[in-house]
Every structure is written in structure tokens, then in C-alpha cells.
């Protein structure tokens, strides 16, 4: 258990050098020691290093590796079932969401309890059973805890939601960040806005002139209103409760976001029609079979634009995440003239 000794002021410089040499021992902590000549640091290394003073640590300070959920459940769950213990889960605000196999249902309270040990800032654990309905509502059940309303903080924005009733996909984080960099000085129409997944970060960081956020689901719409207030965007984001086929403002937008998937192509005429006659950008989302990425969404945009007498220039194609086996969630950026 060797360590190099350097003055405290030189710790960062020494660490960089030791890392570049490949000898820093990351399993032990750096120890600060008092000496008549001042404070020194013992930086753990895996071998002797030329140019440094070396000491042997008889009782090193080890990092305690974090236990996995499976390790936490040893002795509580039969050994033959440990292989079925979930290896991952979602944390939304202070709520843990986990899928538990049928064979482990009788141990779900133990699993939930250990998940709270692993995530000490959380207070509630929900079991996830998937998604249902037109509004893609989650099917979830409380295992431990009571209040299922939480605030998810992300990229400098706050999203209030009820985790038993509202979906929140962390797989779309990169796309939300991308949208947050756009829209400066623009009028934006966000169709299928949900609780403000795209509207809120774009309004907070993109500095648009105006954002029209359209949502049909009454529950999501109420949380959208709450999140507009929570992020102090009352003068920028205007929430509209209704069907995008009926209430999408026409001819006003510099930018349109169509962030829903499934039936989004049925609304392309309204999304394109929302763009002002001088031109603007459409962000069109779709779930597309692997063999048709990006052919199908591009074709659908061009056909819808042609029917309205508009021209299309494709400016970007992005894969967001794998939606299901052989199917991708993609987004196409198109300039509509």
C-alpha cells in the first residue's frame, strides 16, 4: 500500500501527473497528514514512482464500494431469485420508480425499502407496470410512501408532476437540451406540449419572444400551467388546452415543435400551417421502423407541405432513442418555406 507524499498545495498537480502515468490507486482516499514543516498529502499509488517520496500505508483509508441492490437484498431474497433483482430504476424528484418481476412480488416491500436506503433523498417507491391509453399514462402503484407528486429538476428547470399519472422520459434529455438552445427572439408553437417538456427549457434558456404550448390532456395541462408559474414564465409561455387539430395557431410561428409520437403525422398539416409564410423551422417527431429511418418521416413532411403549397428543406435528422425492437424515435428538422 504505497503512497507518494507531496505538500497539500501540490495535490492537484501531482494527481494529474500520476493519472497520466497510470499509477494512481483509485481504491484508496488521499490522506492529509500534519508535519512540523506543514500539511502534506499521501496520494495512493499502485507502484513506486520516480521523482516522488514514497511511504507505506499500514492502515489505508479505503473507499467503500457502493453495494448493488442485489447485494443489499442478500439474506432477504432467496439466493435462487437474486438474479431477477432489478439492476436499474428511475428517480424522478424524490420518487423511485421500479419494475419488479412477477417472481419477486412477495419481496417488493423489501426491494422498495432497500431502494430508499440506496437513494436516501427519496421518500416514495412506485412499482411500474407500463403505459396505457391515448395519453400514454403510466400504470404505477405505491409500494412505500404516500404523496406521489414531486418536482423533477433538470437543466435549470423545474417540472412538477404526479408520478403515478404523468410520464417523464429521461431518454429525451438530450433533445430537450437541444431545444433549449434554440428560439431566441422567435414565436414558437409547441404542439402536444405535455407538462412543458420542451416549452419550459426553451423558454428558460432560448429566450423566445412567445411560446404557445398546446395540450389536450386536462391533467397534463394543469401541470403545464403549474410549471409555467414555477419557472416564472407567465409573460412568455401561453398554455392552450385543446386538440392540436382545432386550436393550433396558424401562420404565426418561426418554429414549431411536434414532440409527440404515434399519430403525429396526422397533424402535419396543422404543424406546417402554423409556420408563418416567410418561413420557419419544423421539428417533427416520429417512431419509425429501422428500415425506414429517416425515409418515412421525411417523405411525410414533404407530402404534407406539398399539399399546402409549401417547400421543404431538410436540415437535420436525429435518433433520440430506441423505442422498441426494430423501431426508433427520431426527429427531423425541416425548414418550411
Residues 33 and 82 in one domain: no
- Residue 333 sits at φ, ψ, to 5 deg, of -95, 120
Residues 23 and 76 in one domain: no
Domain extent for 18: 2-56
Residues 96 and 8 in one domain: no
Residues 114 and 185 in one domain: no
Residues 143 and 76 in one domain: yes
Residues 16 and 86 in one domain: no
CATH of the domain at 41: 3.30.70
Please indicate, yes or no, if residue 205 is contained in any of the structural domains. yes
pLDDT in tens, the chain (337 residues): 899 999 999 999 999 999 988 899 888 899 998 877 788 999 999 888 888 889 888 778 877 667 899 999 999 999 999 999 999 999 999 999 999 999 999 999 999 999 999 888 899 999 999 988 777 789 999 999 999 999 999 888 999 999 999 999 877 888 999 999 999 999 999 999 999 999 999 999 999 999 999 999 999 999 999 999 999 999 999 999 999 999 999 999 999 999 998 899 999 999 999 999 999 999 999 999 999 999 999 999 999 999 999 999 999 999 999 889 999 999 999 999 9
Residues 30 and 142 in one domain: no
Residues 269 and 234 in one domain: yes
Amino acid at each position: 500500500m504505497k503512497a507518494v507524499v507531496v505538500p497539500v498545495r501540490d495535490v492537484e498537480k501531482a494527481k494529474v501527473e500520476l493519472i497520466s502515468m497510470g499509477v494512481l490507486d483509485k481504491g484508496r482516499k488521499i490522506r492529509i497528514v500534519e508535519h512540523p514543516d506543514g500539511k502534506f498529502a499521501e496520494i495512493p499509488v499502485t507502484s513506486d514512482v520516480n521523482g516522488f517520496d514514497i511511504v507505506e500505508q499500514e492502515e489505508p483509508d479505503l473507499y467503500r464500494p457502493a453495494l448493488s441492490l442485489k447485494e443489499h437484498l442478500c439474506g432477504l431474497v432467496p439466493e435462487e431469485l437474486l438474479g431477477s433483482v432489478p439492476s436499474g430504476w428511475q428517480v424522478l424528484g424524490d420518487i423511485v420508480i421500479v419494475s419488479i418481476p412477477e417472481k419477486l412480488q412477495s419481496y417488493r416491500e423489501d426491494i422498495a425499502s432497500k431502494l430508499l436506503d440506496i437513494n436516501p433523498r427519496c421518500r416514495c417507491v412506485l412499482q411500474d407496470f407500463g403505459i396505457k391509453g391515448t395519453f400514454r399514462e403510466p400504470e404505477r402503484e405505491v409500494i412505500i410512501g404516500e404523496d406521489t407528486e414531486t418536482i423533477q429538476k433538470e437543466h435549470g428547470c423545474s417540472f412538477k408532476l404526479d408520478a403515478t399519472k404523468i410520464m417523464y422520459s429521461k431518454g429525451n434529455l438530450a433533445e430537450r437540451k437541444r431545444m433549449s438552445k434554440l428560439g431566441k427572439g422567435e414565436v414558437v408553437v409547441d404542439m402536444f406540449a405535455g407538462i412543458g417538456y420542451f416549452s419550459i427549457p426553451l423558454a428558460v434558456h432560448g429566450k423566445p419572444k412567445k411560446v404557445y404550448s398546446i395540450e389536450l390532456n386536462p391533467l397534463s395541462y394543469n401541470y403545464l400551467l403549474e410549471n409555467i408559474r414555477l419557472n416564472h414564465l407567465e409573460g412568455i409561455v401561453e398554455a392552450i388546452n385543446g386538440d392540436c387539430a382545432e386550436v393550433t395557431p396558424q401562420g404565426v410561428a418561426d418554429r414549431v415543435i411536434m414532440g409527440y409520437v404515434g399519430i403525429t403525422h396526422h397533424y402535419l398539416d396543422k404543424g406546417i400551417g402554423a409556420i408563418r409564410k416567410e418561413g420557419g423551422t419544423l421539428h417533427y417527431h416520429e417512431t419509425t421502423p429501422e428500415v425506414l429511418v429517416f425515409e418515412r418521416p421525411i417523405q411525410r413532411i414533404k407530402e404534407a407541405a406539398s399539399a399546402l403549397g409549401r417547400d421543404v428543406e431538410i436540415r437535420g435528422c436525429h435518433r433520440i432513442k430506441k423505442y422498441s425492437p426494430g423501431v426508433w424515435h427520431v426527429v427531423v428538422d425541416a425548414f418550411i418555406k
